[in-house]
Amino acid sequence: MRVLQVCAEIFPLLKTGGLADVAGALPPALRARGHEVRVLLPGFGAILAGLESTVVVCDLYPPAGLSWGAGRARLLFGRLPAADVDAYVIDAPGFYARPGGPYADAQQQAYGDNHLRFGLLGWVAAELAQGMDPYWSPAVLHAHDWHAGLAPVYLRAAQQARHQHLAGSVFTVHNLAYQGCFAAHHFPDLGLPAQFWGVEGVEFHGQLSFMKGGLYHADRLTTVSPTYAREIQGAEQGCGLDGLLRTRAADLSGILNGVDGAVWSPAVDALLPACYDRDDLSGKAVCKAALQQSLGLAVDPARPIVCIVSRLTEQKGLHLVLQALPGLVAQGWQFAMLGSGDAWMEAAFRDAAAAQPASIAVRLGYDEPFAHRLIAGSDAILVPSRFEPCGLTQLYGLAYGTLPIVRRVGGLADTVADTQLDTLDTTATGFVFDAFTADALQAAAARALALHRRPADWALVRDRAMRQSFDWDAAAAQYEALYHAVA
């Protein structure tokens, strides 16, 4: 089947979070199942730089409001070898060639014209379903997160105008908290029929919401874990959209993300000082010693390291970690973190590390290779999120024999099984806590430490963790079933 994945980032070319990992891994997994998959991406510098065998599909003439100022806008097609996928790329420098990030400038200020930048993405997706490329048109549009939320909306508008089914649509929520909301007066810029404004459309509490548009108009909705699919139908995690999600419950499902074994597997990971697998963990000890050394931590094989790799935002529960840090160190842990994000959090972690450099190490910034070395060299990985649609780092932890300590929420609840006396010999793969408090986090870390002091039991759980399989083929099979249903 011909499937167009519509998204704003893709690993390894452009990544701000797990969305890019998914966008990079899903197309090859679908292709392995016999599907013809292309992606549609905005022409950010890193994407254009990675595009090869490029041809111009056409110049773009979107609705008047979606204009990008001076300069060209055209649709390119080519291959992104780094991501191993064929791609349409919207070359509109007035929109996408900017020095900051994909969504915000270097000062973290969202671009004022994001509704246009990502409106164009959705519009082009729907045009591709109407024959914009005379040689290829998709049977299914699969749109990811608010950036692509208007793809199903423009598609619906086109189908209504032509009284014809053009393609099916699937919309995947990776994070309901980011909704792409804009002032109402921008609606006319999008060139959508007037009836698309309103409660039965893209209006959300008086604003224009790309997320709402996708949720309202896509044929099927998914999110990235079964538990999050349930949680977002309730007021606490629904971000105001739970009512709509409840009315669409029959069309909503949770499909767990996988782990890309070509990127995240300790047996073949060229970024590590030594590879290892569950039959021979000597390489993991090498990774640990190298990590302690490089971070200036006391080099001691007996001292367990708990790590974090994360965006530093409210979602991730890191203020609990700041509160618990003295307790974790007193328990005997070394703590090592890689992250970037909110300035106050960066400063707080930097201060904590400066106060106890032999036990606490903090690297600020975005560093893909170091993320691999950190997860490989640590004994445990901490993910205490307030909410977590899926979460990937706990999956990487499992694969690398780095036991996850997670809060029981979203995808974390679906992927980590707590260690108890009665689960030790059966299901245990990590440590799970419920309350969103520093005390609960610390208590879980204490249980992990107690297990670590019993090497045979630790090895048992670690071996089971490493045997878990979160492969993309399983996820791709579930998406495939949805595609068949909507095509």
**Under the rule (CB under 6 A), what is the footprint of ligand ADP?**
17-19, 21, 309-311, 338-340, 366-368, 371, 390-393
Contacting ligand GLC (CB under 6 A), which of 115, 147, 174, 217? Answer: 174
22 binds, among ligand GLC, ligand ADP, none (CB under 5 to 8 A by kind): ligand GLC
Residues 6+ apart with CB under 8 A from 370: 338, 363
Q: What is the maximal distance between C-alpha atoms in the chain?
A: 69
Shortest distance, CB of residue 6 to ligand ADP, whole angstroms? 18
Q: Are 483 and 139 in contact (CB under 8 A)?
A: yes
152 binds, among ligand GLC, ligand ADP, none (CB under 5 to 8 A by kind): none
Shortest distance, CB of residue 366 to ligand GLC, whole angstroms? 14
Of 54-62, 199-207, 384-392, 471-479, the window that binds ligand GLC (rule: CB under 6 A) is 384-392
**Residues 105-125: b if buried by 16+ CB within 10 A, e if exposed:** eeeeeebebbbbbbbbbbbbb
Contacting ligand GLC (CB under 6 A), which of 389, 397, 401, 430? Answer: 389
Shortest distance, CB of residue 310 to ligand ADP, whole angstroms? 5
Spatial separation of the C-alpha atoms in residues 121 and 99, rounded to whole Å: 20
CB half-sphere exposure, 138, CA atoms < 13 A: 32
Contacting ligand GLC (CB under 6 A), which of 18, 213, 214, 304? Answer: 18
Q: Are 375 and 400 in contact (CB under 8 A)?
A: yes
Give whichever of 25 and 360 is closer to ligand GLC, judged by the CB atom.
25
Q: How many chain residues bind ligand GLC (CB under 6 A)?
A: 14
Binding to ligand GLC by CB under 6 A, coded x per residue (else -) over 250-279, reads -------x----------------------
Give whichever of 309 and 448 is closer to ligand ADP, judged by the CB atom.
309
Shortest distance, CB of residue 170 to ligand ADP, whole angstroms? 19
Using the rule CB under 6 A, is 175 a contact of ligand GLC? yes
What H or E segment, with its residue span, contains residue 414?
Answer: helix 410-415
311 binds, among ligand GLC, ligand ADP, none (CB under 5 to 8 A by kind): ligand ADP
Q: Phi and psi at residue 87, in whole multiples of 5°? A: -140, 140
144 binds, among ligand GLC, ligand ADP, none (CB under 5 to 8 A by kind): none
Using the rule CB under 6 A, is 388 a contact of ligand GLC? yes
CB half-sphere exposure, 302, CA atoms < 13 A: 3
Structure tokens of 402?
A: 């780095």
Shortest distance, CB of residue 325 to ligand GLC, whole angstroms? 23
Helices (H) and strands (E) in the chain, counts: 17, 18
Contacting ligand GLC (CB under 6 A), which of 283, 391, 397, 430? Answer: 391
Using the rule CB under 6 A, is 19 a contact of ligand GLC? yes
Shortest distance, CB of residue 395 to ligand GLC, whole angstroms? 9
Give whichever of 245 and 390 is closer to ligand ADP, judged by the CB atom.
390
266 binds, among ligand ADP, ligand GLC, none (CB under 5 to 8 A by kind): none
Shortest distance, CB of residue 35 to ligand ADP, whole angstroms? 24
Give whichever of 213 and 397 is closer to ligand ADP, judged by the CB atom.
397
Q: Phi and psi at residue 79, in whole multiples of 5°? A: -120, 140
Cα angle at 8 between 4 and 13, to 5 degrees?
100
Beta strands in 119-251 (DSSP E): 140-144, 168-173, 181-182, 203-204, 207-209, 220-223
Using the rule CB under 6 A, is 22 a contact of ligand GLC? yes
In the complex, which residue's CB is closest to ligand GLC? 18
Give whichever of 259 and 297 is closer to ligand GLC, judged by the CB atom.
259
Residue among 232, 230, 139 at smallest CA distance from 485:
139
Spatial separation of the C-alpha atoms in residues 256 and 462, rounded to whole Å: 22
Q: Find the helix packing angle between 210-217 and 114-128, rounded to 10°.
A: 20
Q: Phi and psi at residue 181, in whole multiples of 5°? A: -100, 140
Which residues lie near ligand GLC (CB under 6 A)?
17-19, 22, 174-175, 224, 257, 388-392, 411
